[in-house]
Amino acid sequence: MSVDDIERVAVLGAGNMGHGITEVVAIAGYDVVMRDIEQEIVDEGYEDIQWSLEKLSEKGIVDEDPDDVMARIDTEVDLETAVEDVDLVIEAAPEQMELKKEIYGDLTEFTPEDAILASNTSSLSITEIATATDKPEKVVGMHFFNPPVKMDLVEVIYGEETTDETAETTYDFVESIDKTPIYVRKDVNGFVVNSVLGPFGDEAGWMVSADEATIREADATMVHERGYPMGPFELGDLTGIDIGYHVRKEAGKPVPPIVEEKVEADELGQKTGKGYYDYEDGDGADYGHEDVSEDFDWLRIEGRMVNEAAKLIGNDVATPDAIDTGMRLGAGFPEGPCRRADKIGLEQVLDKLETLHEQTEADRYEPADYLVELVNNGHTGEDAGQGFYEYGGDDGDREYRTLNVLEDDEVLAIELDRPERMNALNEDLMDEIEHVLNNADPEAVRVVTFEGAGDRAFCAGADIGGFAGAKPWERGTITSMFETVNDFPKPTIAKIDGFCLGGGHELALACDLRIATTDSEFGFPEINLGLLPGGGGTQRTMRMIGEARAKELVFRGERISAERAEDWGLINRAVGADEFEDVCAEFVDDIVEGPPVALDYAKKVMNRGEDASLEAALTMESQSFGLLLSTEDVLEGTSAFAEDRDPEFEGK
């Protein structure tokens, strides 16, 4: 079976996960039946989907009429009726092994022979679930994250008997419903995300239990110094302290005393009103910048996460890219642990683990064989040219992780590829943009285009977490990328569809031309963070649209529409989504077919003349005009004009 054979899907469960998965599948265009054991539960789930679709439609996230999506959803209580004619079953029953086995036993009898049976379990063994069927090769894990409508990640998990065909079809199906899948190629406890995330809260718990840090110090340092979306204790309160406790107990792992204390006191987090923080009589997770501690040993936490990642890679469970993608999309990390470790230096990570293991003899610090192997082979990270990833030098090939780059027909197309962060700029992305442009062949490229992946943003600004830990005096280096774009010798075009804010707006302004859909929005929200645009935004905007409007944009921090941006002169065109690609293509074609030498001179004169006196600028223009008169392109252009044909410029 391939994904093209999947037409009808059954989702077993109408609770939060079940109705969320049903909604996602229906939005993608599939016919889906949602089943639960009681009609009341099914009806509540159906109503929740309807409410959600209306909200998504109001926000413009779903274009289709909610009633049309709902028309693809059937409901059922009888299991046999629900699954008798489906191609894929997604089971989202409670996390009880015996219950799941009972369901899968019935599925063996009730489903078509070729139907794929997927479990949304977050922790139970796919292999064991499959023992309840007579077709274990068709059983696979399909772990959505909560809430499925918002969370982009899905783990596709092999059981021992799962065939490649089953897993690959499931992977393709996940992509077809506009989610991002990662393979988990062995049925390990915790799969990928939960395995790597475990030490985030676990190690912080051990540190606080040993009076080596306070809860606020741990949370503040990991958020404000290391860039994580929330601290380990705040996260524990959000998910439920008892959840992590039971996971560790079931896995036979030691539990930090502070976790034991909270569970015994029934202080389980937000759901009980009190956990590590007080949510009833207190202010909740009220840590701030002032709680950051220079003495907090964050490398203990990150080192253990890196170690778990190394175990998964060494045991062929997942690739570094799958792990990093999983942690970014599933846990909201600013970057994956493998990429971050390569920056830190794997030798430092290994040294931290070995020191802690020697001091404590605790199993949790024992270094993974794969990590040791990398360091012993000199593959210690980015500075060494290879770590978890391979890194090319400035003059060599390089595998880009935040960009998609395509060079074809003299067009260098650069796509910012961080859709899960609305293509926000971080150090990696900015460095990769510079690397692409610095290594581009000026003779082979006539135009460069920039666009954003996904359907929400060109670039929504700077990823604050991506610059966590940078010192104030290092911030000045961030502007170099914008200057590299501005100074690139060939014309550059920003293709803007969606949010174009902050650093993303500055990237667009560094380009020569800007074309946007009418749904796009522009602005500099930095002032609302107590900052100002730091990538040339204040200066380029003033020169482009004048002092009054530039100051309005920067001082007020509000967004403006594409129509207003066009009216003000910030962009060249604001066009409807249906015209967007055609208009962009017209701009690109005009430049590709234009005279390369003249375009080079025109860009240079206009960029440099902007900051020169009028007399100096006119001199540059006159000199360039004179130099162009001697080129073969001018001869071709004048000849073509006289002969009433299109010129064929060769850049000579």
Catalytic choice (526, 563, 615, 643): 526
- Exposure of 441 in the CB half-sphere (CA atoms within 13 A): 7
Catalytic choice (335, 506, 521, 566): 506
Are 319 and 250 within 8 A, CB to CB? no
Tokens of 643: 């002969």
Give the ranges where 452-546 is alpha helix by DSSP (H): 480-487, 502-510, 537-545
Residue type, 25: V
> Among this protein's residues, is 506 annotated catalytic?
yes
Peptide bond into 181 cis (omega under 30): no
Cβ-Cβ contacts under 8 Å for 447 (sequence gap 6 or more): 410, 411, 412, 490, 491, 492, 493, 588, 591, 592
Task: Give the C-alpha separation, 91 to 402, whole Å.
Answer: 34
Tokens of 482: 């914008």
Closest CA to 507 of 529, 531, 535: 535
Task: Give the C-alpha separation, 89 to 393, whole Å.
Answer: 47
Distance of CA 122 to the CA centre of its chain: 21
> Among this protein's residues, is 160 annotated catalytic?
no
Instruction: Kindly tell me the sign of the dihedral angle through the C-alpha atoms of 424, 428, 433, 436.
Output: negative
Task: Give the C-alpha separation, 601 to 627, whole Å.
Answer: 9
Tokens of 623: 């000199």
Phi-psi region of 410 (alpha: psi -120 to 50; beta: other; left: phi over 0): left
How open is the CA angle 39-26-79, to the nearest 5 degrees? 35
Cβ-Cβ contacts under 8 Å for 283 (sequence gap 6 or more): 277
Are 132 and 102 within 8 A, CB to CB? yes
The single residue listed with the structure tokens 């109705």 is 19
Are 139 and 162 within 8 A, CB to CB? yes
How open is the CA angle 77-83-85, to the nearest 5 degrees? 130
- Exposure of 223 in the CB half-sphere (CA atoms within 13 A): 21
Residue type, 224: H
Cβ-Cβ contacts under 8 Å for 544 (sequence gap 6 or more): 509, 550, 569, 570
Task: Give the C-alpha separation, 239 to 269, whole Å.
Answer: 8
Residue 523 parent element (H or E):
strand 521-523
CA distances from 578 to 79, 256, 519 (A): 44, 57, 11
Cβ-Cβ contacts under 8 Å for 514 (sequence gap 6 or more): 493, 494, 496, 508, 570, 571, 572
Task: Give the C-alpha separation, 566 to 549, whole Å.
Answer: 13
Q: Which residues are catalytic?
A: 506, 526
